[in-house]
Structure 1
Amino acid sequence: MSTSPPHGPPPPPVTDGLASAARRNLRELAHRLAHPSHPATPLFADAPKRRQRLLPYVVVLALAAIFVPVTITVLTDQYEVSGGVAGALAVAQAAPLLMLAHRPLQAWWIIFPADVLGAVALLGYPVHRYDVWPWPPPTLIGYLFLLLALALRETRRTLISVWVTTGAASLLLHLISPDRSNGSALLLVILGAVVLLIGAALRERGDAQRRLVEQETISEAERAQRTLLEERTRIARELHDVVAHHMSVITVQADSAPYRISGLPEEAREEFGTIAASARESLAEMRRLLTVLRSDGTEGERAPQPGLDRVQQLVEATVRAGLPAELSLAADLPGVPQAVDLSAYRIVQEALANVVRHAPGARTRVSVASDGEHLTVLVVNDRAEQPGSPLETTGTGHGLVGMRERVRLTGGTLDTGPLPDGGFRVAARLPLAPVPPPTSEDS
């Protein structure tokens, strides 16, 4: 007769699981109490003002200066403890308060055993009617300050470990002498929980605010970068229109040269054909690139690009919008390259838009002049007539990004900034001659 094989050893009793869980929790508690969750940096070390950074040191100095003599006085007068023992207990319980600014958990390892030792030492002295045991008033209040410092620096698990250890010590001391215990053991547990909750809430609120500021800083940097990229894309589209015009002229001239010039040798005809083919290939490549850049498909980008000949219309439209503006446009401007022509118009357009947004009603002067080598564009506005009602109360400076990019494109310089009378000035100096590309020696 066969018997079935055994199915393995029986499961361990429940008590083994509870014991292992208890050991695991005790190890976790000991680890949390032995390892601070932050480096030994002072509280408020990142504060922007010096007095804020010094405040924790002033507070801990005041606490130590107050609690050391008060503890000695209470122990000697109320509990009839000898002066030497009272002084030793006071130093052990109150002097480590000086560490609260940068090492509160290490201070807890000194103060907590000293408080327990003090409670045990008081058992050897006579009981008076108004004695508070196991935690005398200076000990209890100083310990609450210690818990507050811990709550501002440590994690939730560490705070729970401290509170559980404090509650266990209070319970043990109450069981040792229940007749002498008169409520301070329970009071410390309750008040300690309240202080830890308040301190932890303040710490988490500060952490959330710091994370929010960091996120806003990152978002602002991303917005600035996106604005820069959008402006560069817009400039690229406009440059296509400028370059495509010249490439089209080259193509037409190269194609028509054999018909306009008689007697050309065959090599010259082939050279003109090669030039026309290269120009057409370049135009096709630029159109493919423009198709990618014009992903929005708007038809407004296909309109002829404006220039200095339309600055007068731009200023008149601004005047009709309620902004008193004056224009000084030189009549004898030399041949202006298309890139410079378009950049000058865009700079005036953006500067006037900024005046409308940030200084409504301010008198504005627009000047465009040339010395033969450079084109100078100057837009200056006075203080707003109604300073309290700007259309936009804050500015990101993104409008200036486009100006800088256009000036950099043409190899010019840009100077912007507020004026002493409350106005603002935008001055651009654009070269009329093409800027040579950087050589390998310059890079």
Structure 2
Amino acid sequence: MKIRLPDTVLSALRRMLSALRPFALSLGRALVTSVGAEPLLGTSRRRWLRALPYAIALALNAALIPTGIVNLHTLYKLTLPTAAALVVAQTVPLILAVTRPLAVWWVVLPVSVAEAVLTAHAPQAAGPWPWPVTTLLGYLFLMLALALRESGRTLFAVWLVTTLATAWEGAAFTRAGDAGGPLPIVLSGAVLVLGWSLRGRGEARRLLAEQEQISEAERGRRTLLEERARIARELHDVVAHHMSVITVQADSAPYRISGLPPEAAEEFGTIAAAARGSLAEMRRLLGVLRSEESAPDRTPQPGLDRLPELVDTVAQAGVRAELSIAEEVGALGELPQAVGVSTYRIVQEALANVVRHAPGAEVWVSVAAEDDTLRITVVNAAPAGGNDRAGVESPEGTGHGLVGMRERVRLLGGRLDTGPLPDGGFRVAAVLPVNQPEEHRT
């Protein structure tokens, strides 16, 4: 059965559509600004919580579409196509409300107002008006989605527009004073306040968790600084003290010991110079450990050009070392600073290990270049007195030398191969890329 609306109703409907034109323009802006928004509960770690809003929206569609069509057709006397169009236009967009509730509200509200106009002359016994039960349930879900997403000012504007639309419907038609009029105003306001409160509570908990993480990071940073300061004090109290004693004794030996041969005096001078150099490096290290924001050290870092000096130094400690640098290394041009420093430190640590664990052994150091890589090899023979000869390093040594080598090589994206030889010697071989990948540049 078709219903022919009176002229007064048609006139009121035209006025309503004219008044809704600004809302249509705002709809486009809302659709654009809400694209790509985070779904409701999308940041939850639990999958079922992230899927819950979609499940509720699909359940509402499954329940409200058939019951709403039957309700409008049988009770409110609308034609089946009109009832179906109104219900689908109000219910299906609820799926999009999970990510774009404000845009969906701009669609649902005009359709709900149009539905109220079309059902204004239905019998009062048909049900509540201007918000049928099925329409109200879907609208309350939309209010909850808005409350969990939008600001308080937007929520108040939504509730105010809902109130004005409901009041206008009640005043424009003969069913003014219907018991169903105030109900959506009260329920929508309550849902908006409840959802806004829940969102505020969740936001407060999130901020509290972030603050706890920041505090934990600050505690870890403070612990690290305290540990660095403790190490600096220990180094100063123990190592630097002993190095100072060695320097003083080596410098004063020629004056305290009479009849000292010139070779011995020169040896004492070498020892004092090495001790002073160690003290200078120790002071720079202490400066770094004592202050996180200490000024950067501007002393030039050692590189390949310092290897001959390094080999000569260990030779004075009784280690016969030979250095070989291939001509291809010079063809590489100026090496990156990280590669040069790492090469020097790897050779330095390998030679130091020979002095500690294989005193008197012969050592061969070679540096070659192949395919844009620098190949460093340090091979030592067995100790001069056999494997039973005690080294300088005590058995309680930390053994961090090889670990430090591996860390340097790993940071540069290279390879390190270490291990004993059948004849009782030891081999250290490192391959460092000259053209480092971006992630390994320092």
The alpha-carbon distance between structure 1 residues 215 and 59, as it changes in their structure 2 partners (threshold 3 A), is same
Q: Is structure 2 residue 76 aligned with structure 1 residue 79? A: yes
Aligned to 1:50: 47
Cα separation, 1, equivalents of 2:97 and 2:168: 27
Matches within 5 A, 1:322-401: none
**Alignment partner of 2:215: what SS?**
helix
Report how far residue 87 of structure 1 moved. Answer: 0.7
Match of 1:189 among 170, 185, 190: 185
Cα separation, 1, equivalents of 2:110 and 2:161: 11
Matches within 5 A, 1:264-283: 272=269, 275=272, 279=276, 282=279
State the Cα deviation string for residues 144-189 of structure 1 (Å, max 9, x = none).
1110011011111111111111111111111102544413222211
Aligned to 2:201: 205
Report how far residue 243 of structure 1 moved. Answer: 2.9
Match of 1:233 among 220, 229, 233: 229
Match of 2:89 among 69, 92, 99: 92
Contact 2:253 2:268 in 1 (8 A): no
Cα separation, 2, equivalents of 1:56 and 1:171: 31
Q: Is structure 2 residue 77 aligned with structure 1 residue 68? A: no
Cα separation, 1, equivalents of 2:28 and 2:85: 28
State the Cα deviation string for residues 404-434 of structure 1 (Å, max 9, x = none).
xx98699589xxxxxxxxxxxxxxxxxxxxx
Contiguous gaps of at least 5 residues in structure 2: 1-21, 292-355, 357-389, 406-427, 435-441
State the Cα deviation string for residues 249-268 of structure 1 (Å, max 9, x = none).
22123213233142666996
Aligned to 1:217: 213
The alpha-carbon distance between structure 1 residues 412 and 132, as it changes in their structure 2 partners (threshold 3 A), is same
The alpha-carbon distance between structure 1 residues 53 and 280, as it changes in their structure 2 partners (threshold 3 A), is closer
- In structure 2, give the amino acid aligned to 1:245: H
Aligned to 1:155: 151
State the Cα deviation string for residues 23-59 of structure 1 (Å, max 9, x = none).
xxx99x9699837579522222222222222222111
Report how far residue 247 of structure 1 moved. Answer: 2.4
**Alignment partner of 2:98: what SS?**
coil
The alpha-carbon distance between structure 1 residues 156 and 31, as it changes in their structure 2 partners (threshold 3 A), is farther
Cα separation, 1, equivalents of 2:278 and 2:72: 98
Report how far residue 197 of structure 1 moved. Answer: 0.6
State the Cα deviation string for residues 259-287 of structure 1 (Å, max 9, x = none).
3142666996898499489849958x959
The alpha-carbon distance between structure 1 residues 44 and 164, as it changes in their structure 2 partners (threshold 3 A), is same
Report how far residue 288 of structure 1 moved. Answer: 13
* TM-score (normalised: structure 1): 0.55
Q: Is structure 2 residue 110 aligned with structure 1 residue 113? A: yes
Q: Is structure 2 residue 127 aligned with structure 1 residue 143? A: no
Cα separation, 2, equivalents of 1:407 and 1:185: 83
**Alignment partner of 1:164: what SS?**
helix
State the Cα deviation string for residues 78-107 of structure 1 (Å, max 9, x = none).
112221111111111111111121111111
* Number of equivalences: 289
Aligned to 1:353: none
**Alignment partner of 2:125: what SS?**
coil
Cα separation, 1, equivalents of 2:47 and 2:278: 65
Cα separation, 2, equivalents of 1:441 and 1:94: 63
Contiguous gaps of at least 5 residues in structure 1: 1-25, 295-336, 338-370, 378-405, 414-435
CA RMSD of aligned residues (A): 4.3
Aligned to 2:344: none
- The worse-fitting range, judged by mean Cα deviation, of 126-135 and 81-90 is 126-135
The alpha-carbon distance between structure 1 residues 271 and 149, as it changes in their structure 2 partners (threshold 3 A), is same
Cα separation, 2, equivalents of 1:92 and 1:374: 84
State the Cα deviation string for residues 60-94 of structure 1 (Å, max 9, x = none).
10011111111111112211222111111111111
Q: Is structure 2 residue 253 aligned with structure 1 residue 256? A: yes
Cα separation, 2, equivalents of 1:64 and 1:185: 24
Cα separation, 2, equivalents of 1:109 and 1:49: 31
The alpha-carbon distance between structure 1 residues 224 and 119, as it changes in their structure 2 partners (threshold 3 A), is same
The alpha-carbon distance between structure 1 residues 96 and 407, as it changes in their structure 2 partners (threshold 3 A), is farther
Cα separation, 2, equivalents of 1:409 and 1:31: 68
Cα separation, 2, equivalents of 1:264 and 1:225: 55
Kindly, what percent of the aligned residue pairs are identical? 38
Cα separation, 2, equivalents of 1:38 and 1:252: 78
State the Cα deviation string for residues 172-227 of structure 1 (Å, max 9, x = none).
11110254441322221111111001001111111111111122122212222221
Report how far residue 376 of structure 1 moved. Answer: 7.6
* TM-score (normalised: structure 2): 0.55
**Alignment partner of 1:201: what SS?**
helix
- In structure 2, give the amino acid aligned to 1:230: E
Cα separation, 2, equivalents of 1:78 and 1:158: 35
- In structure 2, give the amino acid aligned to 1:115: S
Cα separation, 2, equivalents of 1:277 and 1:374: 21
The alpha-carbon distance between structure 1 residues 228 and 174, as it changes in their structure 2 partners (threshold 3 A), is same
